Structure 1
Amino acid sequence: MLHKNEPVIIKRGRRSKRAASHGGAWKVAFADFTLAMMALFMVLWIMQIADQDERTQIVQYLRGEMYSTGAMNPFDVGQSSSVIDFEGSPAIQESIIAASGTGADRAGPSMYNNIPEGDAEANAGQGPDLNAMVPGQYETQAQLVVLARYLNYVVEQSKMADNIAVTLVPQGIRILIHDNIDRFMFTRGSAQMQSYFEDLLLALGPVLGKVTNAMVISGHTDSTPYIGSLFTNWELSSQRALLARRVLELGGVKRNQVIQVTGMADQVAYIPEDPAAAANRRIEVLILTSTTEEVIRSMVGVPAEHLDAGINLQDAKLQAELNQPSARN
């Protein structure tokens, strides 16, 4: 049988290329992406918890301008005299590290010292306007008006402008700081001071430290009673007034300026028609004229002329006893 020559067909398949082995470059890229996201979240977190002044300090620190402007390092907690306790609230403590100067030059007890910076000599307090303030005794009406204007300037720069009233009174100048429904100076029922109230007292310290007028500090509460008899509004108002005096001295007030600290409880209401009102919880600082200071000192002490009169009276009595006639035997 004849066979036909059939063509031989050879089918060749294409060789599949092996997949290229992956290196570790993707891991480096993913790590860079994770680091960038972490930095973004850190920036967003800092922007959320920090106010505008704290952001300015952080920017100055990153640029290396922190110490040239006299500001404190916001990341250096070792230089701060304020500590955070386990309950998350600032606790007043004196700085372990010795601090020089007063006011903005001194590390006060507050977490953040809310003293504005001026264009010239900002470390002295409120800037060039306050630096021009003449130290000394303020007695006349015109002098008291000037001092009241400086105090109003400090108040307007603080976060408690709605809670403060600076008024001229016959005894001098009264600085009245009270609570309202939105902001309290102290935690309710305790003498734990809020940070913004510390900042206000520290800002007032450099101004009050420039004058030589004596001062009286009084603490007041509302009529809400305490349960029990060991701790009452008398103790609470006294503790708050004493703490206010301490912070003012840290801010620049001289120790011998404050001649009296009193706790008035709820006896003198700021709003008599509503004894439980928040405004009745207040701290009053009275800057005295020399005449008022003499009156207060005479109320708690024996004036020199009365002391001399008492000595002369005793001498006269002794002389009278010696001059008594003797009976004859």
Structure 2
Amino acid sequence: MSDEQSIIIKRVNKCPHAAHGGAWKIAFADFMTATMAFFLLLWVMGGTNDEEMKAIAEYFRNPTVIDASPEVLVESKSQGRQTNTIIDAGGFQDMPTGKEGDESGSGKAKEEAEMEQLKLEIQKKIAADPELSKLKDQLKLDVTPNGLQIQILDDRKRPMFEAGVDVPRDYAAKLIKEVGQILAHTDRPISIAGHTDSSRYASQDYTNWELSADRANAARRLLIRGGVPEKRIAQVVGLADTVPFDKQNPYNPRNRRISIIVLSQDAQQRLKSLSEAPGVEDLSKELKLGTPVQRAPAPAAPAHH
């Protein structure tokens, strides 16, 4: 029996929770993330004013008003009326909404697209002509709130007009007529302004005012020859040297220019309001209605003694 080898059986007791490993860490991380988000929310709400709080509440009350947008609708009271406004979550700037706002916005977008298309057509037409393409640096096109501004600038080596007169050079006349062919395709009114530099005339009878006005009228005639209907010309003015292109150098040749503006709707209304005489509309209404116009009584004739 002493020669028999002893058999030792070793039993290992496994911990019942050993299989979970680090799962508790994931749960703890979720808890910490939620806690951080909660305190971040409290911090943001602490710096929010009453108006912004109302906007946020309105958004969560009816989140389907705006489709996937960070903007919310709130009610604002202005002059006794309630109007819907959009508050941007980034800058909280009010913008009008509703049918009127949509129509105004779409109208301006359509108007701007039309101006951009006119600008592109003019650029293409000038680039396609070898002679006129040399003048591209003297043709400045900009879409502004007033409309499409077309400025034809003078140059020391390539002036647009003969010196001191309203006679355009051949290439300048061709350029303006080509522009007129493009502008003939739109029904928007056109304003034309002539500009000069600050060089003075020796004579007081003919000044930069007369010269700028005469050159503006010369441009008007060329636009009409290009196809622009005469009734579309809303304004022709001479501004002398009062609106220089180069404000730092009033004698810069580029100050001598013709400015043609295809007027936007807003600019057209402003121009119309400036040109209308006050009281004319009221008088015309009275005449149409047949209401006699009251005239002051004639003074009595002096008595003869």
- Shorter-normalised TM range: 0.5 to 0.7
Distance 2:279 2:117 in 1: 34
Q: Which residue of 1 aligns with 2:267?
A: 292
Structure having the higher Rg: 2
Distance 2:147 2:278 in 1: 22
Distance 1:161 1:184 in 2: 13
Q: Is the 8 A contact 1:139 1:290 kept in 2?
A: no
Displacement after TM superposition at 1:187 (Å): 1.0
Select 2:123's aligned residue among 152, 158, 161. 152
Q: Which residue of 2 aligns with 1:192?
A: 167
Displacement after TM superposition at 1:156 (Å): 2.5
Displacement after TM superposition at 1:153 (Å): 1.5
Cα gap change, 1:289 to 1:274, in 2 (>3 Å): same
Residue 246 in structure 1 maps to residue 221 in structure 2: yes
Residue 237 in structure 1 maps to residue 212 in structure 2: yes
Cα gap change, 1:139 to 1:263, in 2 (>3 Å): farther
Residue 180 in structure 1 maps to residue 155 in structure 2: yes
After the TM superposition, list the runs of 4 or more consecutive aligned residues in structure 1 that deviate by more than 2 angstroms: 154-157, 302-312
Displacement after TM superposition at 1:307 (Å): 2.2
**C-alpha RMSD of the superposition:** 2.7
What do the CA deviations read for 1:120-173 (whole angstroms, capped 9, x no partner)?
Answer: xxxxxxxxxxxxxxxxxx952222211211122123342311101110000110
Displacement after TM superposition at 1:291 (Å): 2.6
Distance 1:170 1:227 in 2: 39
Distance 2:126 2:266 in 1: 27
Q: Is the 8 A contact 2:118 2:183 kept in 1?
A: no
Q: Which residue of 1 aligns with 2:190?
A: 215
SS of equivalent to 1:183: coil
Distance 1:303 1:150 in 2: 40
SS of equivalent to 2:148: strand
The percentage of counterpart residues that share the same residue type is: 30
Cα gap change, 1:310 to 1:210, in 2 (>3 Å): closer
Length, aligned pairs only: 181
Letter of the 1:192 counterpart:
V
Which 5+ residue runs of structure 2 have no aligned equivalent? 1-108, 295-305
Q: Is the 8 A contact 1:241 1:283 kept in 2?
A: yes
Q: Is the 8 A contact 1:220 1:283 kept in 2?
A: yes
Cα gap change, 1:304 to 1:155, in 2 (>3 Å): farther
Q: Is the 8 A contact 1:214 1:293 kept in 2?
A: yes
Q: Is the 8 A contact 1:222 1:275 kept in 2?
A: yes
Which protein has the bigger strand share? 2
Residue 224 in structure 1 maps to residue 181 in structure 2: no
